Structure 1
Amino acid sequence: MSGVGIGQRPENRRQQTVKVMWTAIWLVFLSAPVNDLLHGGHAVAVQVLGWAGLAAFVVWYMLLLFRTGRGDRTNAVLGALAVLGALAVLAAESALLALTLGREWLVLFVYVSIASGAALPLRLARWTIPGASVLLGALALVVPGGRAVMAALLVPALLGGFAMTGVRELIRTTVALREARATVARLAANEERLRLARDLHDLLGHSLSLITLKSELAGRMLPDHPDKAARQVADIEQVSRQALVDVREAVSGYRRPRLAEELAGAEVALTAARIVAELPAEPAPNGVCEESEAALAWALREAVTNVVRHSGARRCVVELLERRTPAGAVLELSVEDDGSGGPAPAGAPGNGLTGLAERLEKAGGALEANRFRHGFRLVARVPAASAADIGSGA
């Protein structure tokens, strides 16, 4: 990047040079004082002092102007007082040069006004800019021939000063927008990482549990029933391939599980774990929004994975009901087992249930997971219709 954007500080020597050159372009209006020093007929000593004064003015002006966009000063009050003092020195030098060398030097007050707008906040610049203009007008009345150029200098002083306040506010707004955009990008990245973590946990936890179970079955069957062991190995290959596909889709953000598929997978996993499975005949009522169905599918996958891995159950009952509430139709999925385990060691909610609760909350639903009778029960509820359908009266 060769240039410097608004609100950005120069990051290297080249960018700093570009900014200096762009600012120096406007010093062309100092041609009147320069011409006066070259052809004004002043004595050599006066010329030397004039050149020294002009050089000091330009350096002081550039230092003030380069404060534009710097909003990170630790003490704003002391910073403003320092700028006011510097402007006072700049105005005093301009007045001294104009009174000593003539009306051509009144143009320096235009730069004083511009520096005020660039280096001071608006609440102060709205007073210093008119103040510099009033001082310009007063000196024009005193300096010989100053009345002739007073009108031509007052307008640029006022317009230039207030234009610089606009540029300063634009710089500050641009910096704030850049920071806000960076914050939004960080939040979006964090949200995507959470989504990916939930998806990978749900996908791999279920698939790897099933692979482990079938591997154990194949190992027990191998000595006496090699044909059955071969079928288990074939199932392991199929589950592994499907897990790979699911992970790729999850990473791409396109995976939306279906209840019918998850019910079929749940039956396979429970049967492989030698758990009697009682599943609903119908996967889901017609007309259920995709977001709610996907949330219930994730809930079923997580619940069955916990039953297989933690419960030690002999029986698992899955029910899917549609209930009517004052807020509208609600789908309720319950998974109940008769085991002695819980969702996590010490009864604390694990990463899976935490991520599942977040999924259901995003879909407008809720999660309940607790011990029930002689086992554990997980209940997931989601609205049967999406928020957009409810809002439109569908």
Structure 2
Amino acid sequence: MRTGPNGHGAELTGFRRFTWWAVPGTCAFMLVLFTGDWIVAGDLPAPVRALGAAALAVEVASCVVLLGRRLTVRPATGAPPIPLPAGWLAAGGAAAAVMAAIPLSRYDYGVWAVAPAIMVVIAATYLPPRRGWLLVAAAAALAPLPGGIVSNAAADGHLLYAALFPAGLVAFTGWTVLGPLWAWDTAGRLNEARMLSAELAVKDERLRFAADLHDIQGHHLQVIALKSELAARLAEVDPARAAAEMAEVRQLAADALSDTRAVVQGYRRTTLDEEIANATRVLAAAGIDARMSLDPAATADLDDTDRHLLGLVMREATTNVLRHSAARNADVDYRIAGGTARLRVGNDGADGHPLTASGSGSGGGSGSGLATLAERLRAAGGELAWDRDGDRFTVAAALPAGEEPR
């Protein structure tokens, strides 16, 4: 995710440029268009005209600086308010007072409120949204007083206009300034949320990769350790078989390296058929009587994703039998019944390991491998559960079969 010079997403650059022209640009334009034209074209003494022009320049500069800073430093959710540049606000407020007093002294009720309204709204942009709107509402409620008092004292017959127009001007200015800034803040927060979502997706992918790498390395290393121990025992009594076992160890090491490279490249896919065949050989080498009850045609109704998931379950269950049990017998049952592919792996050597004490596939206990697989199967519309009954430990997986690949 690229970021711009102000820390916002680069895709916000155009929106920020638009908001800058729509907010500070519009405020400066309103000041110059209404107040500036009145100062230049009005029948004013030269000193008063010069004072008004100087005040106009100061307020335009204050407006641009204050709103530009407000757009550059956007308040984050839950963060403290942005520090208000008090110097610029004081200068702009003094200039607005001068630009209000001059028209009001000449009974121009349509111009005097422009500069004060803009400064009040700019101050509101630095407050939390609710307080900002309260400030604008309070200013709109008080705006009828200056013009109303002057008009009533002069008895010029413009009391209604002098009282209501400034209030409407304050409300309109608040809407045109606070509205785009609210949209800018919302867009920034949404962009932050999208960046956070992208970061979480990357972290999830890293966790998935770590889980796959753990499955591969843990399984292969466990088998290599088992066969190496067996070869060491056979080295003196049966050298030929010991050599054969070490040849298998060498092949397993090569397979582990190949599988690791495939995971890094993102191409490896475990299949149920391969894992069942591998489990048969590995369990037999460990002296475990493995009984297989398989439907030969069952895997034909599974898509590649389901074969991969059930293959991971078979691999994890086999590794757990070797690592966490003292099993003498193991049984594997796989078939499709009622449109559901069911894989069941059991053994009689549960030894009270925290993994085998877990009650279900909901992720309880310390069985991180099965818990991770349970989440993946649930995401695919299936389920994974494991249970211990005495010295018997069973892992059962189910996935919908015969459906379109998910």
TM-score w.r.t. length of structure 1: 0.70
5+ long unaligned stretches in structure 1? 9-14, 143-154
Any conservation in 1 of the 2:292–2:333 contact (CA below 8 Å)? yes
Matches within 5 A, 1:1-394: 23=24, 27=28, 30=32, 33=36, 42-43=45-46, 46=48, 49-50=51-52, 53-62=55-64, 64-65=66-67, 66-68=69-71, 69-70=74-75, 92-99=97-104, 106=111, 109=114, 112-113=117-118, 116=121, 119=125, 121=129, 123=133, 162-282=175-295, 284-324=298-338, 329-342=339-352, 344=354, 347=357, 348-372=365-389, 374-386=391-403
Q: 1:7-50, CA deviations, whole angstroms, 9 ceiling, x for partnerless residues?
A: 99xxxxxx9xxx79x95797476387499589988455x56744
Aligned residues: 361
Stretches of structure 2 lacking an aligned partner (at least 5 in a row): 11-15, 155-167, 358-364
Query: What is the CA–CA distance in structure 2 between the aligned matches of 1:269 and 1:100, rounded to whole Å?
Result: 100
CA deviations 1:195-216 (Å, max 9, x no partner) are: 2232122222211111111111
Offset of residue 128 of structure 1: 8.0
The alpha carbon displacement at 1:189 in A equals 2.6
Q: Which amino acid aligns with 1:195?
A: R
1:235, distance to aligned residue in structure 2 (A): 1.4
Secondary structure in structure 2 of the residue aligned to 1:230: helix
| AA of the residue aligned to 1:184 | S
Letter in 2 for 1:67: R
Whether the 8 Å contact between 2:294 and 2:333 is mirrored in structure 1 is no
Pick closer, same or farther for the CA change 1:266–1:73 going to 2, 3 Å: closer
How far did 1:161 drift? 5.8
From the superposition, tell whether residues 244 and 343 of structure 1 become closer, same or farther in structure 2 (CA, over 3 Å): farther
Corresponding residue number in structure 1 for 2:362: none
CA contact under 8 A between 1:279 and 1:317: conserved in structure 2?
Answer: yes
Matched with 2:360 is none
Q: CA deviation at 1:132?
A: 11
Instruction: Tell me how far apart the structure 2 counterparts of residues 383 and 183 of structure 1 sit (CA, whole Å).
Output: 33
- The answer on whether the counterparts of 2:32 and 2:56 sit within 8 Å (CA) in structure 1 is no
Counterparts of 1:62 and 1:73 in 2: how far apart (Å)?
Answer: 26
Distance in 2 separating the partners of 1:300 and 1:249 = 20
Give, as a single letter, the amino acid of the residue that structure 2 aligns with 1:293.
R
Separation of aligned partners in 1, 2:384 and 2:56: 76
Distance 1:42 1:7 in 2: 51
Q: 1:26 to 1:345 in 2, by over 3 A?
A: closer
Mark the CA change 1:37 to 1:222 in structure 2 (over 3 Å): closer, same or farther. Answer: same
1:342–1:376 CA contact under 8 A, matched in 2: no
Distance 1:48 1:205 in 2: 84
Report the 3-state secondary structure (helix = DSSP H, G, I; strand = E; otherwise coil) of the residue aligned with 1:333: strand
Amino acid at match of 1:53: A
Partner of 1:12: none
Q: Distance in 1 between matches of 2:385 and 2:280?
A: 22
What secondary structure does 1:332 align onto? strand
Deviation at 1:71, TM superposition (A): 5.9
Counterparts of 1:6 and 1:156, CA distance in 2: 33
**1:312 partner letter:** A
Displacement of 1:355: 1.8
Instruction: Tell me the secondary structure at the aligned position of residue 250 of structure 2.
Output: helix
Note the C-alpha offset of 1:228.
2.9
Deviations 1:92-141 (A, max 9, x none): 443113346997x94981684487378275855985898899899989x9
TM-score, with normalisation over the residues of structure 2? 0.68
Contact residue 121 and residue 173 of structure 2 kept, 8 A: no
> Aligned Cα RMSD in Å?
4.9
For residue 70 of structure 2, give the secondary structure of its aligned residue in structure 1.
Answer: coil
Cα separation, 2, equivalents of 1:373 and 1:7: 58
How far did 1:370 drift?
2.4
Tell me, yes or no, if the aligned pair for 1:110 and 1:157 is still in contact at 8 Å. no
- Deviates most, 251-260 or 65-74: 65-74
Provide the identity percentage.
Answer: 33
* Contact 1:6 1:174 survives alignment (8 Å): no
**Equivalent residue of 1:279, what SS?**
strand
300-309 or 128-137: bigger deviation: 128-137
Give the 3-state SS of the residue equivalent to 1:231 in structure 2: helix
C-alpha change, 1:100 and 1:58, in structure 2 (3 Å) is farther
> Which residue identity lines up with residue 347 of structure 2 in the other structure?
D
Give the residue type in structure 1 aligned to 2:312: W
